[in-house]
Chain A
Amino acid sequence: MIRIPLYLAVAQWALLGALGALVVIMYRQLGRLLTGTARAEALGPVAGGRAAALTYARPGEQAQRQLTPGGGQPLLLAFVDPTCPSCEELVAVLGRISAAGDLAGLRTLLLISDPPAYLQISEVFSSTGIEIGRPVRREGLESYRVSATPLLVAVDGDGVVCAAGSVVRPAEVLAFARSCLLPAPEAVLAAPEAVRRGEDGT
């Protein structure tokens, strides 16, 4: 009869247990990806619906400001957080596009949920020239369905959501930003397929 050392017997069961748990985790994630629930959570508001008004405050300011979509000016809202690496990537891309003048005619606002002090830990956030705000009330925020960051929402001058999704690549962000600026047929041609559907383009 072969005698297995106690440690080897215990260790192999620990390894087997860990592998079993990881297989279950992967199986569940595969199921979520196949049924689309993982992406559906990050969709944001439905394109074609009205964008809700938001109350926000700029970092370091007590004064509350009202964001009311539909005032005639298209909006590009970026729900981002300084502690989210993909958000830093998006803010850097938005900063470059903005500096190049490609966001002219579009009001761009970075909306964070992290405490304002966290802006200091991110060089990209602390140096961006784009307006930053932090929603101060939950009212209206739910309709944006921000279940994950980053989330971009483009709103036209009438307050209607043109597109919503999680895009980071410069070309897609640019097409996304322009989707509300161009006349409808051009916007449809310019926006990539994933953006038109409001899905993550990556």
Chain B
Amino acid sequence: MLPVAVLPVAALPVACKAAVAVLLVAAGGAKLADLPGFAASVRLFWPGRLAAVPLDAVAAGLAGGEVAVGAASLCCPQAGWLNLVVLSVGGGFVAVAAVGYARHPGRPCRCFGSSSGRGFGPAGIGRAALVAACAATATLPVRQSALQLGPAGRLALLAGALLVAAAAYSAAAAIGAGRRGPRRA
């Protein structure tokens, strides 16, 4: 790893960008392993008048979208608009954590599928705010040479992102197999 003493100023936004992108890929992969469970969490926020919409499909779309946004952000660092997309996703996390805490305190958020048994609470809002802060830091301007990536580099990062998603999926599936339902309070 780069020693802290020689880290250039550009390293902070770059590190935040990479960390949030990897987090999105891992969280999305873990959610895909337990779509019915994630759909149950989505249902807590779903308006009653849209009851006809298949929530499993919505949950799959959200989890798949999370993986896609994370992988794209990781592989295409020069696309500045992706930083704004990731920032809006981070803002969404904060909103969900806050509304979840206000309306459904203690209910499992399944932010990492079955691999996370944490419920909505103040700590969850703090974690979501930290992710959003990192996403905001990633939008700071960085010299383009620091973000230069060739096709081989992009491909390697995409392969790494897919590997992380697959590992998160496997970990969440293994944990879900040992724990069928949510923990009781």
Q: Chain A interface (Cβ within 8 Å of chain B)? A: 5-15, 17-19, 22-23, 25-26, 29-30, 32-33, 38-39, 41-42, 79, 81, 83-87, 113-114, 121, 146-150, 166, 168, 200, 202
Contacts and interface: CB of A to CB of B under 8 A. Distances in A.
B185 to A, nearest CB: 6
B108 A83 contact: yes
B174 interface: yes
Interface stretch (B61-69, B84-92, B123-131, B142-150): B142-150
A58 to B, nearest CB: 20
A11 B14 CA distance: 8
Interface of B: 1-2, 8, 10-11, 14-15, 17-19, 21-23, 25-26, 36-37, 39-41, 43-44, 74, 77, 107-108, 115, 145-149, 153, 156-157, 160-161, 163-164, 167-168, 170-171, 174-175, 177-185
Contact of B14 (A10, A168, A200): A10
Contacts of B108: 83
A25 B160 CA distance: 18
B148 A5 contact: yes
Top 9 A-B residue pairs of the complex, sorted by shortest distance between their CB atoms: A38-B178, A85-B36, A149-B181, A84-B181, A15-B160, A14-B18, A6-B146, A11-B18, A22-B167
Nearest to B148: A5
B36 A148 contact: no
Given A8-B153, A29-B178, A86-B181, A15 B19 contact: no
A14 B157 CA distance: 10
B36 to A, nearest CB: 4
B184 A149 contact: yes
Contacts of A83: 40-41, 43-44, 107-108, 182
A12 to B, nearest CB: 7
Contacts of A41: 179
B37 to A, nearest CB: 6
Contacts of B115: 25
Nearest to A27: B171
A80 to B, nearest CB: 8
A30 B173 CA distance: 12
B76 to A, nearest CB: 11
A29 B161 CA distance: 22
A71 to B, nearest CB: 26
B174 A10 contact: no
Nearest to A83: B40
A42 to B, nearest CB: 7
A5 B167 contact: no
